[in-house]
Chains A and B, each alone.
Chain A
Amino acid sequence: MARRLPKKDVVIIGLGWTGSIMANELTDEGLDVIAIERGPWRDAPTDFPTNYMQDELRYRIRHELFLRPDQLTFTFRNKIDQIALPIRNWGAFMPPNGVGGGGVHWNAETWRFLPSDFVVRTHLTERYGASFLPDDMTIQDWGVTYADMEPYYDQFEYLCGTSGTAGNLNGQIQDGGNPFEGPRSRPYPTPGQAQPFGPTLFAKAARELGYKPFPQPSGNLSKPYVNPLGLRLGQCTYCGFCEWFGCGNYSKASPQTTVLPILIRKSNFSLRDNSEVIKINTDASGTRATGVTFVDTSLQEWEQPADLVILSAYSMFNVQLLLHSKISQPYDPVAGTGVVGRNFTHQTISSVNGFFDNKKFNFNPFIASGSIGMCIDEFNGDNFDHGPHGFVGGAYMGQVQTGARPIETTLVPPGTPKWGAQWKKAVRDNYLSTVKPGTGVHGSFYSYRDVYLDLDPTYTDRFSRPLMRMTIDLHDNEIKQNRFMTDKFAEIIKAMGANVVDKQYRTAPYDITTYQTTHLNGGVVMGADPKTSVVNRYLQNWDVPNLFVLGASAFPQNAGYNPTGTVGALAFWAAGAIRSQYLKNPAPLVHA
Chain B
Amino acid sequence: MRSAGEGMPLLRAVACAAALLFTSALAVAGESDPQDFTQIKNGQYLAILSDCGSCHTVPGQRRFAGGRPIETPFGNIVAPNITPDRETGVGAWTDDEFDAAVRKGVRRDGALLYPAMPYNAYAKMTREEVVAIRAYLNTVEPVRHAVVANTLPFPFDIRTAMRVWDALYFTEGVYKPDPAKSAEWNRGAYLVSGPAHCGACHTPKTLLGGDKTAQYLQGSKIQGWFAPDITGDKARGIGNWSIAEIAAYLKAGHNQVSAATGPMGEAVSLSTSRMKDGDLNAIAVYLKSVPGRQDTARPLPADDPVMTAGAAIYRDACSACHMLDGRGISELFPSLAASSNVRSDDPATLTRVVLRGARSVATAAEPTSPGMPSYAWQLDDAQVAAVVTYIRNAWGSAAPAVSAQDVARERSQLASRPD
Contacts and interface: CB of A to CB of B under 8 A. Distances in A.
B278 interface: no
A281 B8 CA distance: 61
Interface string A209-253: 000000000000000100001111111010100000000111000
A51 B373 contact: yes
A134 interface: no
Contacts of B368: 230-232, 250, 261
A265 interface: yes
Interface in B368-398: 368-375, 378
Contacts of B362: 261, 265
B246 interface: no
A49 B366 contact: no
Contacts of A232: 329, 331-332, 366, 368, 370
Interface string A447-473: 000000000000000000000000000
Contacts of B357: 45, 49
A131 interface: no
A43 B374 CA distance: 15
Nearest to A234: B329
A51 B367 contact: no
Interface in B340-372: 357, 359, 362, 365-372
B366 to A, nearest CB: 7
B321 to A, nearest CB: 6
A248 B331 contact: no
B141 to A, nearest CB: 17
Interface in A40-99: 43-46, 49-52
Contacts of A587: none
Nearest to B333: A234
Contacts of A51: 317, 373, 375, 378
Contacts of B370: 44-45, 232, 250
B151 interface: no
A232 B330 CA distance: 10
A583 interface: no
A231 B367 contact: yes
Contacts of A590: none
A262 interface: yes
Nearest to A248: B373
Contacts of A231: 367-368
Nearest to A53: B373
Contact of B321 (A249, A262, A265): A249
B194 to A, nearest CB: 31
B402 to A, nearest CB: 20
Contacts of A49: 357, 373-374
A557 B331 CA distance: 43
A234 B321 contact: yes
Contact of A45 (B331, B365, B366, B372): B372
Contacts of A235: 329
B320 interface: yes
A429 to B, nearest CB: 27
Contact of A230 (B332, B366, B378): B366
Contact of B320 (A45, A229, A239): A239
A15 B375 CA distance: 30
The DSSP consensus for interface residues of chain A is: loop
Interface in A503-522: none
A224 B330 contact: yes
Interface residues on B, range: 20 to 34
A231 B366 CA distance: 7
Given A237-B320, A239-B320, A224 B369 contact: no
Contacts of A230: 365-368
Considering residues B329, B330, B359, B368, which has the most beta carbons from chain A within 10 angstroms of its beta carbon? B368
A250 to B, nearest CB: 6
Contacts of B321: 50, 234, 249-250
A46 B375 contact: no
A50 B372 CA distance: 8
A229 B365 CA distance: 10
B332 A50 contact: no
Interface string A272-315: 00000000000000000000000000000000000000000000
A51 B354 CA distance: 12
A262 B366 CA distance: 10
Nearest to A230: B367
Interface in A487-528: none
B359 A234 contact: no
A261 B371 contact: no
A239 B317 CA distance: 12
B332 A45 contact: no
B369 to A, nearest CB: 6
Contacts of A46: 371, 373
Nearest to A229: B367
A502 to B, nearest CB: 34
Interface string A413-425: 0000000000000
Contacts of A50: 320-321, 373
A242 to B, nearest CB: 14
B367 A265 contact: yes
B368 to A, nearest CB: 5
Considering residues A51, A229, A249, A250, which has the most beta carbons from chain B within 10 angstroms of its beta carbon? A51
Contacts of B329: 224, 232, 234-235
A52 B378 CA distance: 9
Contacts of B330: 224
A43 B357 CA distance: 14
B371 A44 contact: yes
B365 to A, nearest CB: 8
A237 B319 CA distance: 9
A224 B369 CA distance: 15
A99 to B, nearest CB: 16
Contacts of A249: 320-321
Considering residues A49, A233, A265, which has the most beta carbons from chain B within 10 angstroms of its beta carbon? A49
Contacts of A233: 332
Contacts of A229: 367
Nearest to A239: B320
A265 B357 CA distance: 22
A248 B365 CA distance: 22
Contacts of A262: 367
Contacts of A234: 321, 329, 332-333
B245 to A, nearest CB: 17
A262 B320 CA distance: 25
A297 to B, nearest CB: 23
A315 B341 CA distance: 49
A261 B367 contact: yes
Contacts of A239: 320
Interface string B290-328: 000000000000000000000000000100110000000
A233 B370 CA distance: 10
Contacts of A45: 357, 359, 370-373
Nearest to A45: B371
A468 B37 CA distance: 64
Given A50-B321, A234-B321, A250 B332 contact: yes
B273 to A, nearest CB: 13
Contacts of B371: 43-46, 248
Contacts of B373: 45-46, 49-52, 248
Given A45-B370, A50-B321, 15 more contacts: A46-B371, A49-B357, A49-B373, A51-B375, A52-B373, A230-B366, A232-B366, A232-B368, A234-B321, A234-B333, A249-B321, A250-B332, A250-B368, A261-B369, A265-B367
22 contacts: A43-B371, A45-B359, A45-B370, A46-B371, A50-B320, A50-B321, A51-B317, A51-B375, A51-B378, A52-B378, A230-B365, A230-B368, A232-B331, A232-B368, A234-B321, A234-B329, A234-B332, A237-B320, A250-B332, A261-B367, A261-B368, A265-B362
Ranked nearest first, the 9 interchain pairs of A and B with the lowest CB-CB distance are: A45-B371, A49-B373, A237-B320, A232-B368, A232-B332, A234-B329, A224-B329, A231-B368, A51-B373
Interface of A: 43-46, 49-52, 224, 229-235, 237, 239, 248-250, 261-262, 265
